[in-house]
Structure 1
Amino acid sequence: MKDLGYYVPAVLLAIGFACRVPGMRRTWRDPLLRTVNALLIVASSVLFFAAPTTIALVNRVTGIPNFSAPLVYSILTAYNAACLVMIINWRGGPAEAARRAGLRCVAAYALVIVALFTLFGIGDASEERLRDLDTHYANTPYIREMIALYLVAHCIASLVTTVLCWKWSVRVHGWLRTGLVLIVSGYLLNLVFDVLKFLAVGARWAGHDWDGLSTDAAPPVASVSALLVAAGFIVPLVGPRLSHTWQSWSAYRRLGPLWRALRAGPTVAGGSVGMAWWSSAELRLTYREAGILDGFLSLAPYFDLALHDAAKSAAYETGADPRRAKAVADAAMIAAALTARSHDPQGLALAGEPPEAPTAIERARDLVLVSEAFRTSPIVEAARRDPAWAGSKQP
């Protein structure tokens, strides 16, 4: 059951990577998105291969006791490199300079990986240790240096990334700042992980046993850290899209009162057209806006511009700003028109030349305010009860 602390976040990160696979062909040339994809899969691999069950399996398959140690340390080092390259590409600047800086970073950490396997190869780690290799071999020549090297490389990457992201986060806003704060939080936990490991290994060097810091406390810290860092890189990329979708759903819902009132009429274009359950929020909003605007056309013979002007003046008297006053006036004119149409079952107002739709009701960007006023404004309610209400407001 302890392995779930490794496998669950590994699966979550792998799912995040899988969700990005369909769009990879279109974004492969973008170094930023390419690095995000690499970061997700490498972070997932770190947690998967660090699980004791996977460690035992890799050791058994390779036939080399503790071969998982340099493998996990190397994947963790690659993860550090991917994070730094991500920051380099994310910060922008000249493309060629970013490319050179990224290559230098990758080359440096590639040398660390080579050194890790070299030190493991010349050291003696013949007794398999699934959970406590760092502390068990803390005093073994070459294996000791391998452990210290991966911890130092990890600590340097964590410090650099934390400082860079924190400095950057105070200069930006919105989703980018949220992502940077998540990354900083994750890397602060990475530093906690490094401290716990260093304390446990240092205690062994001093002849003490603080192994629990390494075997019990450090792994869950690493799991949470990986999730926070991955989320920090993903949020600024998907956040704006999610925000736009949420705004579309919110506008769709808030347009409901006005749309339902107009839909009850006999001639709303598109009123019988169904929407598939998988239709996007944007498509649903467009459909609802179109239905409302078509409903306005069917109400045009009943619109009263004098009532519109009176309602706007009444809204100004209540302290409404120009945009909201216009929305109240539009809603009042619509409410009165609906009442007037309900009192004209024979459609007498439709006889003869149809009047032009008044310019009082404009594009859909203001429809949400109109719908809210239609539902809540006492001025609209007065116009709804008495379509001749405008006459009583005239001087």
Structure 2
Amino acid sequence: MNGEDYYIPAAALWIALAFKIPSLLRNWRDPLLRAVCSLLTLAGAVFAFAAPPTIAAVNRLTGIPNVSAPLVYCLISAFSASCLVLIVNWRGGPPERTREVSRRWIICYSIVIVALIVFFALGEAPEEHLRDLDTHYSGTPFIREMIVLYLVAHAVAAVVMVAMCWRWALQVHGWLRTGLVIIVIGYLFNVSYDVTKFAAIGARWAGHDWDGLSTFVAPPLASLGALISSIGFVVPLVCQRAADHWRAWATYRRLGTLWRELQSAAPPDIPRLRIAWWSPVDLRVTQRESDIHDGFLNIAPYLDADLHNHAYGQAIAHGTDSDMARSVADAAVVAAAVQARVSQRNGDSIDFSQDHYPDPVSRPRDLVRISHALRHSPVVAAVRRNAAGPESGH
């Protein structure tokens, strides 16, 4: 693998990190967000520092042959810990339990990182090896222990992640399941990396030469595993947010018919709150719902209970289910009430002898369904035509 094979994934991961940093600065106390950013940072660092050109540069700058080896091994161990911490926080549970489990993983892998440094300091690796250090020094005291320790720590994290994510994937659906399956696939590549490395080292111990497994087969497996698992962590968060954003915009648009209907009856002398076009869609939806509820208050005296019952019966007769029939009936009385309110404002004589809704705003309604019925229901269209006729009068 060339340097570009490492640097391109590192750049992609750090670009993803750059998009997460504003959220991190706003919500620094969010453990899930911190774990995501830590994972992206460490994954990018593993790719960047594992590239042969970077290994040679670090060795040259420090003047210590093969010092890049414990550096990369420590980064891999820290990345493994960040994945475990992220999955623990992502799955959730009692906060005390989540913090305790996260702390245990961090402590365990911190001990591993310290041990890796100690083993390298105690061992001797005077001859620089950029690609085959694991097999070349697999029989060297202390360097051997360093290599085995980082592989065991990496393998433990990989097996635990596969087990945890697979069990969780069987319990959930949607983007979360997709992300968990991607993580499992990524960590299966990591398991394959560990198996390949152990096979090459074991062959060395047995007097055989399987170095090609470690030098040429294992690195692509590790790169694919780290990249795929990182994508698996990011995909559910990004796609779920995009889906929520899309649903919010859809709700905003679908409420438009009801909002415009009620705005046509709003008193002209009341100032309207305008939201900037760049405002978050959730805020726009909240404001539109607030305007609709204010509109219900405005037309409350004109809401006809008898008309509601009649429209409900008509909707049921047309084969509409009971929930949608209630929304159709609500839309019908809204359309008639708006027409009555506008007629009164224009100076027409209006009869208020009918029974009105008791406390019309507090009764829960499906605003989106009412808005849809205002636009598409033939029952509502008929009520609107009757209310607009010269003989109609409420």
Q: Given the two structures, how large is their TM-score scaled by the length of structure 1? A: 0.77
Q: Counterparts of 1:141-180 in structure 2 under 5 Å?
A: 141-142=140-141, 143-171=143-171, 180=180
203-212 or 254-263, larger mean C-alpha shift: 203-212
Matched residue type, 2:248: S
Aligned to 1:9: 13
Aligned to 1:207: 209
Equivalents in 1 of 2:109, 2:273: separation in Å? 59
Equivalents in 2 of 1:78, 1:109: separation in Å? 7
Q: Is residue 2:289 matched to residue 1:289?
A: yes
Equivalents in 2 of 1:39, 1:371: separation in Å? 44
Matched residue type, 1:231: V
Q: Counterparts of 1:1-395 in structure 2 under 5 Å?
A: 1-2=4-5, 3-13=7-17, 15-17=19-21, 19-24=23-28, 26-27=29-30, 35=35, 38-87=38-87, 92=93, 95=96, 99=100, 104-121=104-121, 122-129=123-130, 132-134=131-133, 137=136, 141-142=140-141, 143-171=143-171, 180-198=180-198, 206-208=208-210, 209-210=212-213, 211-228=215-232, 230-231=233-234, 235=237, 246-265=246-265, 267=267, 272-300=272-300, 303-339=303-339, 346-349=346-349, 358-359=357-358, 361-363=360-362, 365-387=365-387
Equivalents in 2 of 1:316, 1:353: separation in Å? 27
Equivalents in 2 of 1:300, 1:85: separation in Å? 54
- The 8 Å contact of residues 192 and 221 in structure 1, kept in 2 or not, is answered as no
- The 8 Å contact of residues 249 and 281 in structure 1, kept in 2 or not, is answered as yes
State the identity as a percent: 41
- The 8 Å contact of residues 24 and 33 in structure 2, kept in 1 or not, is answered as no
Offset of 1:371 from its aligned partner? 0.3
- The 8 Å contact of residues 159 and 191 in structure 1, kept in 2 or not, is answered as yes
Give the alignment's Cα RMSD to 1 decimal.
4.0
Equivalents in 2 of 1:365, 1:378: separation in Å? 20
77-86 or 35-44, larger mean C-alpha shift: 35-44
Equivalents in 2 of 1:152, 1:381: separation in Å? 71
Cα gap change, 1:102 to 1:298, in 2 (>3 Å): closer
Offset of 1:178 from its aligned partner? 5.8
Offset of 1:257 from its aligned partner? 1.4
Equivalents in 2 of 1:341, 1:18: separation in Å? 48
Equivalents in 1 of 2:54, 2:347: separation in Å? 77
Cα gap change, 1:178 to 1:356, in 2 (>3 Å): farther
Equivalents in 1 of 2:102, 2:346: separation in Å? 76
Equivalents in 1 of 2:126, 2:355: separation in Å? 89
Cα gap change, 1:225 to 1:370, in 2 (>3 Å): same
Matched residue type, 2:127: S
Q: Which runs of 5+ in 2 are unaligned?
A: none
Offset of 1:202 from its aligned partner? 6.0
1:77-128 Cα distance to aligned partner (Å, 9 max, x none):
12223333455565646937963x5555444433432343344342325225
Q: Which runs of 5+ in 1 are unaligned?
A: none
- Secondary structure of the equivalent of 1:191? helix
Cα gap change, 1:199 to 1:19, in 2 (>3 Å): farther
Cα gap change, 1:103 to 1:306, in 2 (>3 Å): closer
Offset of 1:206 from its aligned partner? 3.0
- The 8 Å contact of residues 10 and 45 in structure 2, kept in 1 or not, is answered as no
Equivalents in 2 of 1:51, 1:86: separation in Å? 25
Equivalents in 2 of 1:92, 1:266: separation in Å? 48
Cα gap change, 1:206 to 1:264, in 2 (>3 Å): farther
Offset of 1:311 from its aligned partner? 0.8
- Secondary structure of the equivalent of 2:27? helix
Matched residue type, 1:127: E
- Secondary structure of the equivalent of 1:385? helix
Offset of 1:67 from its aligned partner? 1.6
- The 8 Å contact of residues 311 and 379 in structure 1, kept in 2 or not, is answered as yes
- Secondary structure of the equivalent of 2:278? coil
335-344 or 77-86, larger mean C-alpha shift: 335-344
